[in-house]
Amino acid sequence: MATSTFVQIRRDLHQIPEPGFQEVKTQQYLLRYLEGLPQDRVQIQTWRTGILVRIPGTDPKRTIAWRTDMDGLPIAEETSYPFRSLHEGFMHACGHDMHMSIALGLVTHFVHHPIADNLLFLFQPAEEGPGGALPMMQSEEFALWKPDCIFALHIAPEYPVGQIATKPGILFANTSELFVDLVGKGGHAAFPHQANDMVVAGSHLLTQLQSIVSRNIDPLDSAVITVGKIESGTKQNIIAERARLEGTIRTFSMESMARVKSRIEALVKGIEAGFACTATIDYGCGYCQVYNEEALTEEFMQWVSEECPDVTLIHCKEAMTGEDFGYFLSEIPGFLFWLGVNTPYGLHHSKIEPSEDAIEVAIHLVSRYFTKLSERP
C-alpha cells in the first residue's frame, strides 16, 4: 500500500529528533511543508524554534487552537524501523513526530475545507524540558492570535488504534525536575578513611528518597519520585569526589509537591551532615497539571460516543505524566486526550513503534470535531 503523505511526514520527522529549543531542522522541515500550501489561506509566524499557523475563518466567532509538541529525547533508538533516527543518541520516543504530522494533516484539511471560525495551530518546542508552552503563551506572537479554546492529544501505547481516552478535570500531574549534586573528597580506593565517598553518599540519598512517598505523603493523595540518572566516579579503584542524581517529582496537589520538596531538602541536609559533603539542589523546570475543562470535555466525550462509530472512547484515570500543555489549559478552556497507537513499549522506550494508522484516525476525528465546534452560535 502506498504510504500516505502524513505517514511519510512522520517518518521524515522521526529521522531528525532534536532537543528542546534546538528543533532547527524540524522547524525548517515544517516551514517547507507549510510554504507549499496555498499562501492566501495561511498566516505563519515563527517563535524561537516553534511556529504559529493561523487559518482565518469565513465568518469567525472564535479562534480554535490545536497544539503539537516538537522535541525529541536523548534516547539511543532500538526500533526495527528502516527510517531510524539520523541523530545519534536522540529519538522521537514520545510520539512528537506523530503529533506534528497529525497537526500538519489538520492544517492541510482546513486549508482546503474552510470553516467559520479562525483556527490556530501551535507547533511548540521543548515539551520534554525546559518547557516551551509558558514562554510561547507569553510571547507577542501568541498575544496577536490568542485563541478562545485549545486542544491537544498525546499518543497512548496501551490503547489500540481507533481508541481514544480522556476525562474531565485533572488528567496529568504537576511536575518538577530534580537535580542533586554532592561534593565530598576523592581518594585512593585502599584509603577510604582519608576520603568522603560520594558513591556511598549518593546511594544512601537514593534509598532515602524512596521513603518520602510511602512515609510523608497522604496515602489518599499520589506522588512519584523517580531518579532516572545517577552519575558518579571515574574508575573502579578511585573513590568518587562527586555524585549527581537526576530525577523528576510528580504530584496531583501543590501541597504534596511542597511537602516532597521540603522532605528532599531535609534528607539532603542529613546526607551533608552524615557524609561530610556539600550538596546543592536544583529543581530545573516544573509544569502545572493538565486540567481538562469539564463542560467542553464532557460534551466532546458524549459527541464521540454518540456520533463517531469509528472511534471507541475510554473514560480513563488520571496519570502521573507531565505536559506543559497544562499551562495553556490554566488560562484557556480546552482538553487533551490520549490517542491509541497500539505498541507494547511505553513512552520514552527505545523500542516504541506507534502504529501510524492512528495518524489518519486523529486527523479525521479532530477535523470533524473542529467543524462541529465552529457550527456553534
Ligand X SMILES: CC(=O)N[C@@H](CCC[C@H](N)C(=O)O)C(=O)O
Interface ranges with ligand X (CB under 6 A): 94, 128-129, 154, 175, 177, 248, 285, 287, 321-323, 347
Residue 281 · residue 268 · CB < 8 Å: yes
Q: Is 128 or 197 the residue whose CB approaches ligand X more closely?
A: 128
Q: Is 248 or 289 the residue whose CB approaches ligand X more closely?
A: 248
Pairing between strand 63-69 and 149-156? parallel
Q: Output the smallest distance, CB 216 to ligand X, in A.
A: 20
Q: Output the smallest distance, CB 42 to ligand X, in A.
A: 28
The continuous run of DSSP H or E covering 55 comes out as strand 50-55
Count how many Cα atoms sit within 13 Å of the Cα of residue 111 in the half-sphere of its side chain.
21
Residue with cell 519520585: 225
DSSP result, 189-254: TT-GGGSB-HHHHHHHHHHHHHHHHHHHS-TTS-EEEEEEEEEE-SSTTEE-SEEEEEEEEEESSH
Name the grid cell of 173.
500531574
Q: Output the smallest distance, CB 177 to ligand X, in A.
A: 5
Residue 96 is labelled as binding a ligand: yes
Dihedral sign (CA 66, 71, 73, 77): positive
Query: Among the options 69, 177, 323, 356, which is catalytic?
Result: 69
Q: Is 175 or 343 the residue whose CB approaches ligand X more closely?
A: 175
Indicate the SS3 state at residue 67: strand
Residue 154 is labelled as binding a ligand: yes
Q: Is 57 or 322 the residue whose CB approaches ligand X more closely?
A: 322
The yes-or-no answer on residue 128 being catalytic is yes
Query: Among the options 18, 23, 71, 128, which is catalytic?
Result: 128
The yes-or-no answer on residue 324 being catalytic is no
Q: Output the smallest distance, CB 294 to ligand X, in A.
A: 22
Residue 285 is labelled as binding a ligand: no
Residue 348 is labelled as binding a ligand: yes
Residues annotated as catalytic are 69, 128
Residue numbers in the known binding site for Mn(2+) are: 94, 96, 128, 154, 348
